[in-house]
Each structure stands twice: as C-alpha cells, then as structure tokens.
Amino acid sequence: MPVKKTNLKEYKTELRRHYRRLRAEMEPQARAEMDAAICRRVRGLREYARERVLFTYVSKEGEVDTRALIEKALRDGKRVAVPRCVPGTYEMEFYFIRSPRDLEPGMFGVLEPNPQNCERVEDFSHGLCLVPGWSFDARGYRLGYGKGYYDRFLSRFGGVTAGVCYHNCVRWQLPHGYFDRPVQLLVTDRYLRRTARKGS
C-alpha cells in the first residue's frame, strides 16, 4: 500500500484503516473458509499438542474468528484462558473459562470472562498464546489496535506466541519499536511460518 511515512503514528493509523476496510470487504463465505483453515492449522501445531493451556482472545467483528477454536480446544481437554481488560488501565487479566457461557460483554463490546465465576490465571510461564492483529509481517511483528494491551502482556509472557492472520493481511515489513516483541509463529489460512526464536 503506497503510504508516505511522514509520521509513524499517522502511518500506522492509515494501515489500520486499510486492513479494516480490506477485511470488511471480504466475502462472508470466503472468510468463513479462511477462519476454518486457520483453526485447523492451529490445532495441527506441535505447540498446540504439547501445551496444556491455550491463551486466546475472543474474536469480535473484523478479527480472525476464534470462537470455534475455543470450543474445540475445550473439547480437546485444554485449559482455555481469555483476557479481560482492567478498567482504567491498559492492562489485561486472563481467566480460565469452562464454556462460552462464562463470557459476558465487556470493554469495547468484546466478550470477556466474568471474574466472579472464573479462575484468574496467575502463571504465565508456559502455554500457547494466540495474538490478534490487523496485520503481521514476515518477521512476526504485528500491527495492533493502538492501545498497547497485548504489547504489555507479551512482555511478561513466557510461553509460545502465535499470530493469527489472513494471508492477504500479511506484509513483508511493518514498522516496529525497540520494545515490540515478534510472535514466534505466524498462522494464516494458507501457511505456517516460524518467525522468531523465543526472546528475540
């Protein structure tokens, strides 16, 4: 996408508009097929088979759909942990859910775990974490939503990170800062890429 990089913040804002528009224009059937393909690839990962805990966002409109994957992971015997945004901060807490019935509308209209009914996660030293983003690049860097929730979380997460993205939203290179952490795996509807070593 030809964008003049006069200001990094403006450039990222324009990129977000571009990928939001691109996703909104996808045909529903084609998009559903891509979601299903990504789900299959995630479940085929050796990291998925090895890790007992799956950390995953609960998808909203415009994101790669994780709802079917959450249900399949629960049936596969995984412990599934989903985020809740802490009001008044840019931090996330994760809670284990036993079924989608443990979710309720939270900040930004996203389904979040009910903290009164769910166990809060305290151990972030292991697990497979699915990371959302408008776009990822070939090295695993992401274009997030601009609030920094996942950037803060990933700085203290010790498990395996996997970005999930439609193939047509992957770029060769994205702008990133010194403290940005690339995901270790990039899972699209067409391919799997191992992008970075842990801690890189």
Domain ranges of the chain: 8-194
Give all strands of the β-sheet with 142-143 in edge-to-edge order.
142-143, 135-137, 170-171
Measured at the alpha carbon of residue 86, what is the angle toward residues 82 and 90, in degrees to the nearest 5? 100
pLDDT by position in tens, the chain (length 200):
444 445 888 889 999 999 999 999 999 999 999 999 999 999 999 999 999 999 999 999 889 999 999 999 999 999 999 999 998 888 999 999 999 999 999 877 889 999 999 999 999 999 999 999 999 999 999 998 877 889 899 999 999 999 999 999 999 999 887 778 899 999 999 999 998 655 44
Q: Which CATH architecture has domain 8-194?
A: 3-Layer(aba) Sandwich (3.40)
- Taking CA atoms, 122 is separated from 83, 126, 189, in Å, by 13, 11, 32
- Residue 184: per-residue pLDDT: 96
3-state secondary structure 152-195: HHHCCCCCEEEEECCHHHEECCCCCCCCCCCCCEEECCCCEEEC
C-alpha–C-alpha distance, residues 141 and 138, integer Å:
8
Q: Residue 108: what are its φ and ψ, rounded to 5°?
A: 60, 15
- Residue 197: per-residue pLDDT: 57
Q: Residue 132: what are its φ and ψ, rounded to 5°?
A: -85, 165
